[in-house]
Amino acid sequence: MAKDIDRIRARSALETVKENPVIAVIAALPVAAAFAVVWWLLGFFPALLLLLVFGGVVVWKGKLLG
C-alpha cells in the first residue's frame, strides 16, 4: 500500500513539473544558492561533497529536514 502512495505522489510531482516548470526552479533555488555559497567559500569539491551528502540524507530519510 505504501508503495502505491509513493507512486501516486511521484506521478503527481512529475505532472506538476511538466505543467509548470517554474515551480521546480523555485523549489531548487535554495539548494542552488547554498551550493553556490559553499563553492565560493570552499571550492567545488567540498560543495559537491556537501550536496551529495545532503542529497543522500534526504533520500535516506525520505523527507527534507526532518
User: What is the per-residue pLDDT across 16-25, written as a single tens digit (0 to 9) for each?
Assistant: 889 988 988 8
In which band, very low, low, confident or very high, does the pLDDT at 66 lie, cut at 50, 70 and 90?
very low
- Please report the pLDDT score of residue 38 as a whole number: 93
Round to whole Å and give the CA distance between 54 and 30: 13
Statement: residue 63 has pLDDT above 80: no
What residues contact 23, with CB distance under 8 A and at least 6 apart?
16, 17
Cα separation, 61 vs 23, in Å, equals: 23
In this prediction, residue 43 carries a pLDDT of 95
Residue at grid coordinates 506521478:
11
Q: What is the pLDDT of residues 26-53, one digit of tens each?
A: 988 998 999 999 999 999 999 999 989 9
